[in-house]
Structure formats: structure tokens, C-alpha cells
Structure 1
Amino acid sequence: MTDTYVICARKRNGDVFTSEPGPVRFLKVPSTVKTFYDSSHVVANPKIWAGEVQALADGDENPNSIAPTGDVLVFIHGYNNSMEDILGRTRQLSKDLRAEGWRGQVVAFDWPSANQTLNYLEDRWDGSQVAISLVSKAIRLLSEGQKADCRTNVHLLAHSAGAYVAMEAFLQAEKDGPLRNTPWRIGQVAFISGDVSMNSLSVKSDWSGPMFARIMRLTNYYNPFDAALAVSTAKRLGVSPRAGRRGLPEDAPDKAVAVNCGPYFKGLQPDASFAHVSWTHSWYIGNRVFARDLAMTLEGAIDRDFIPTRERIGGELCLADHPRPVFQSQWDIKSTAQMTERHIR
């Protein structure tokens, strides 16, 4: 197992990171570290950190990806995640994606979510503060790299309240003059158990507009059996159904696609290792069928309506356990992407 790269937005107290928001730091955590990271893992120069991540991504190009070089996936967790959870889930996600043929580099964005559900509304406020940090450091670093002719594809995967952090970050970036006037972009964005309202993903939403303007595609994976999001909806007196439980609104932008995971999920046996978190809310990471679908989504080579791990049921795209196309490795996707890139530059 290789090092785990983390963008950390926790406040530091001496050598220890706390549960309060703080300045963004860039970490490189050895595979031997299992429970928590500390100041000894900070890479002092963010550009060196970014260069290492880019080199790892570009040095192991995925032949099935339309990215001309490599891919980086930034994983933004939700509430109730300890540092041990973040390390474990980031590493599991990377392992599953690689097993399903995706060869990119997974990076964790760690924001300080509380460890009790009762602190959930406080987490929301923290999420807004953290989004500003995500803009001021991480997105700015990405923007500088793309100005320097970096062709590595960068994607986002946001779980639960991480979807809130991601959308708020795009909004804050649009308020930042230099960033607003720079043509930076994100490739694929995926929400799992997204704890944002369905209506916030409408084409009329001022909140999601900045996100859709900067990305290639949003894939909203949702599970109608998500008990944690049922609680989230109840807190709002049922007036704001959550995108991670109900899907997209009818007037979602063309860049958005919803994948209903309910028909697949209801046949899954709960995993005992999820005892300290909601199985219905957090099952995606560690599930190989989801990882296969996400891998093909990130690669971008197959139309969203025809990704093999999806079936049409009652007019909806639904997650299904099917393999990749048998001869996909012989389609010369990468060489086609590189040749096309040379023609349009």
C-alpha cells in the first residue's frame, strides 16, 4: 500500500489536529499509520505535494480513461468521520477502484465533522467555513496547475454533507475575483448519499449554478432506503427532500444524471464492519459494484445512459451488477484521447 495524500482543514493544537476548522494543510500519510495523522505528516510546500500527486496519477495512466494523462479523485467525506475513518475509507475506495480497473490517485479532503449526530447543524456551519478554505488553498492550487498546462483530470466524490461542502466551495470560488476569471475546471463530480436538497440541483438554483459551470458531469447516486437522510429530511419538517434519498429534480441541468441504487441495495446483506455508522447511508465505499460504476463514470469513455452497471427500471437508471464491456481494453481509448487533444490544442 502506498502513502495516503490528505488535504486537511482541521485546526492544529501543537502536533495534534483537532475537531475545529483551521488552515488547510497538505499531508502525506504513510501506509503504516492507521488511526490518526499529525503535524509530522505535513508537507511544507503545497506545490511539492501537488507535484507528487500529479506524478503518481500521470505515471499510471488508465487506458480506459479519456483524460490525456492521468486522473485524481478528491474524496470529501460527510459528518461523523474520525481521522481513522477517513484513512480507512480513502484507502478502501482506492483499493476498490483499482480492482475495477481505475488507476488514478485518490486524495482525501478532511474537514472537521463532529462525532455525534446531535452536532449535525454545527457541522453545517463548519462546512461553510471549510468550503472557503477549500477554495483559498486547494482550488487555487488546482487553478495554478491548470494555468501551468497541467492536463491531469481532477474529479470530486462527495459523501453526505460533503456534497454541501463541495457546492459551497464552487460558490465561494465564484466570489473570488482571480479564481472567477481563471478557466479552471473539474471533470466528473459524484455525490453519494448527498445531503443537499433536490431543489438545490435545479437548473434555476443560484447555489449549484457555479458548480455546473465548472464541471463536465454530476452523477447523483441515491438510495431510497437511506435512514440517515430520512432523519435529515425530518429535521427540515419534510419540506426539503434530500438528493441522496430522492434523486434529482425534474428540471435538473443536462449535465446531471441520477443513478437509483435502491433496487440493488435492498438485496445487500449489511456489513458488520459498519457497526459504528449507518449502513444504509455509508455502504457505497467497500462495494465493488458501485466502484465499478464509479470507475467507468470517472473514465468518461461511455455515455452515462449506457454504462453497463446501469439498467432502466421504470424510466430510471438503476445500479446493477454487470461487468465492464468484454473488449473495452482493445478500444484504444487513451490513444484516441491523446490524439484528439493534440488536434484541438
Structure 2
Amino acid sequence: MEFMITLRNADGSDGVGPVRYLTFTGEMGTDNDLALNDWRARVIATFPAGDRNPAGHPDRTGDILFLVHGFNESHESAKALHLKCVKALADEGWFGRVISYDWPSDGLVFAYLPDRVNARAAASALVSGAIAVLEGAQQTQCTINVHVLAHSMGGFVVQQAFTWSYQDVPADWRIGQLMFAAADVDYTVFEVDTPSTKAFASHAGRLTAYSNRYDKALLVSNAKRLELAPRMGRVGLPDTAPPMMCEVNCSALFEKVFPGIQNDLSPSVTHSFYFDRPEFWRDVVLNLGGGIDRGVFPTREPDPSSSSANRFELDPAGIDDATYWAALARAATSPSIRVP
């Protein structure tokens, strides 16, 4: 059983609808629309049960990763991405619970501007209807570590959600790892002392930005808005980003996977190749493990073009299995990590 939170209207009409809590079993399978309490109880029940706590509930421990997709995604393709990510994470030793946050992207090639309007409208419910809902369950039923992985314009959804969350929920909520891949967000947003940067620091333990200098989709994104500021997922973090943020440049990996860069690769390939690469997923799982510092991940190397201690390159050669599993054993902080 897979879990999803969606803001798409149940009748298929356009625009952002009320928060709905779904379960599903396959890309084309039927969605089961559940009441919040029932859905949340089913999520919690997927974690191993331990001794009963003073409230009478069995203690449960594990990790949840909220997956926030990007623009031009239909509901069916969002489910397909969810299933791809579940398998990729499990292949690298992470068996936490993935919950997709499905906002109403149009699923059309030229729907960028309508998608951006929907993304802004969908942002607040990411905290109030998703993260806060499961954080509240920790008081009596379980200890779960909540993380977020956002792709493309999903990064804009997350940025807006974190920045304006104080309007919707108490300020004491926190997550562990916050990860952006190909973030379609103005890179200046991540400069020190901006409202968004302060919000990230208040609510997340570490922010990791995966970027690709060959990302054509983000070049198109910038041109469509007629804005001067580049997208963070294409150019990386600004030099003034605070220490809780680190950048992992994946351009060398892209060069290796697509050596004929002069060929006319589609923007979507340059924008989404991360999700097909085990090198990327191994770095993500080490992040989710949480037990080792960013500077000792064997999956990455210091960026030689930067003097910052928080700038890295994803090693395009990858690492051997023994080195990876040894590093993951050191990184593991919850039963969601399973080392063979």
C-alpha cells in the first residue's frame, strides 16, 4: 500500500482543491480516498510496533519522506514517480515510508505559468495538511523522522510552504533532511538572512541542493518569466548561503551519462535524470541516515571551483558496494536503514 496527499479536485476539474488523503497500489490502480484519522492511522501502522507507551499506544519508530513533484505532472505520472522513488530508495537500503504530495500540475508541456499559480496556492497545505498532521501523531503514537525531497517547481512549493507556515501552524514543527533536486527557485532566495533562509534554518536540520549546470528546463523556466535571477537547480546555491545548506553539483555525473552533450537532449531529460541514477540515490540515502556529516559522504568530493566547505561534486564514478554499505552503517540512525 502506498500513501499520497493530493490537492487535485476529485472530479478532475482544474485548480487547487481541498486536501485529500489517498492510498493506492499501482500507477493505474484505483485511489482510495480516506478520512484523515483513518489514513494517518494506516501510515503509522506501517512502522514496527514496540512496547506500549503511557498513552496505551505501541511505540513505533521510523522515517517518512514527503516527495513533492514538479511542474507538468499528471496525477498518474505523480504516482509513477512515487513508485520509482520507492524502489530506488529500497535498492539503496532505505525502507522508510514515502508519501507523495501531489499538487495540481497540469501535465501539459506549455502549462508552466498555470502550474506556478497552482504551486503557490498548494504551498500552505504542505505544512498544515501534511507535515504538521504527522508531526502531531508523535506525541502519543510514534517517533517518526520527517524529511522532504522536492523536485523542480516542487521546490517552489516547499519554499513557499516553509516561508509562510507561521500563518497556518504553530512555529515549533521541524523536519530532519530537506533536499531539493533541480529546484525551480530563484537562487537569491537562499542567501543568508532572507525570510525563506530563516524559515529553512528554523524548521530543517540540513538543506541539500542537487544541481545540474546542463539543465535546459530551468533555462527555459527563467526565460518564460523574463526574470534575471537564475534558477538554483541550474546554478547552485549563492556564495552567501548559510552553513546549514550544502550544494551537490551533479553536472559531472550528467556529462558521464550523456557524453554527447552537443546532441539536442530534451529539457526534461536534463531536468530529471537524477531519479534514474543510483549515484544520486546513494547520496540521498546517506542524507536520510543522518548520522554522518556532509563532508565525509564517500559519494561526493569537495568542489574544486569553490572555497566553501559546503560545496561538493557528486562523484560520477560512483562507489563500490562495500564502501557504500559501510558508510550507510555509520550513517544509520533509525530502523528505516537496512544494511545487508
Bin for the TM-score computed over the shorter chain: 0.7 to 0.9
What is the letter of the counterpart of residue 196 of structure 1?
V
Q: For this pair of structures, how many residues does the alignment match?
A: 312
1:307 match: 297
1:12 match: 10
Give the Å deviation of 1:30: 2.0
- Contact 1:93-1:286 at 8 Å conserved across structures: no
Give the Å deviation of 1:20: 2.3
- Contact 2:301-2:313 at 8 Å conserved across structures: yes
1:24 match: 19
* Aligned equivalents of 2:106, 2:184: Cα separation in 1: 16
> Unaligned 5+ residue runs, structure 1?
61-67, 337-345
Q: Any idea what SS the aligned residue of 1:258 has?
A: strand
2:112 match: 120
1:292 aligns with 2:282: yes
Q: Any idea what SS the aligned residue of 2:150 has?
A: strand
1:189 aligns with 2:178: yes
1:43 aligns with 2:34: yes
Q: Could you list the runs of 4 or more consecutive aligned residues of structure 1 that deviate by over 6 angstroms after TM superposition?
A: none
RMSD of aligned Cα (Å): 2.5
> Unaligned 5+ residue runs, structure 2?
51-59, 260-264, 336-340
CA, structure 1 residues 254+286, in 2 after alignment: closer, same or farther (shift >3 Å)? same
1:64 match: none
Give the Å deviation of 1:297: 0.6
* Aligned equivalents of 2:182, 2:330: Cα separation in 1: 33
- Contact 2:222-2:228 at 8 Å conserved across structures: yes
1:102 match: 94
- CA-to-aligned-CA distance 1:114-133 (integer Å, 9 cap, x gap): 12343212211111111123
1:228 match: 217
What is the letter of the counterpart of residue 43 of structure 1?
L
* Aligned equivalents of 2:147, 2:215: Cα separation in 1: 25
Q: Any idea what SS the aligned residue of 1:244 has?
A: helix
1:203 aligns with 2:192: yes
What is the letter of the counterpart of residue 153 of structure 1?
N
Q: Any idea what SS the aligned residue of 2:257 has?
A: coil
Give the Å deviation of 1:136: 3.2
What is the letter of the counterpart of residue 28 of structure 2?
T
Q: 1:142 aligns with which of 119, 124, 134?
A: 134
* Aligned equivalents of 1:59, 1:96: Cα separation in 2: 25
- Contact 1:35-1:83 at 8 Å conserved across structures: no
1:258 match: 247
The normalised TM-score by structure 1 is 0.83
Q: Any idea what SS the aligned residue of 2:213 has?
A: coil
Q: Any idea what SS the aligned residue of 2:146 has?
A: strand
The normalised TM-score by structure 2 is 0.84
* Aligned equivalents of 2:130, 2:39: Cα separation in 1: 11
Q: Tell me the percent identity.
A: 36
What is the letter of the counterpart of residue 22 of structure 1?
G
Q: Any idea what SS the aligned residue of 1:248 has?
A: coil
* Aligned equivalents of 1:332, 1:208: Cα separation in 2: 26
What is the letter of the counterpart of residue 130 of structure 2?
A
* Aligned equivalents of 1:309, 1:234: Cα separation in 2: 33
Give the Å deviation of 1:269: 4.1
Give the Å deviation of 1:53: 1.9
Give the Å deviation of 1:317: 0.7
* Aligned equivalents of 1:296, 1:58: Cα separation in 2: 22
- Contact 1:47-1:141 at 8 Å conserved across structures: no
What is the letter of the counterpart of residue 256 of structure 2?
G
* Aligned equivalents of 2:111, 2:221: Cα separation in 1: 12
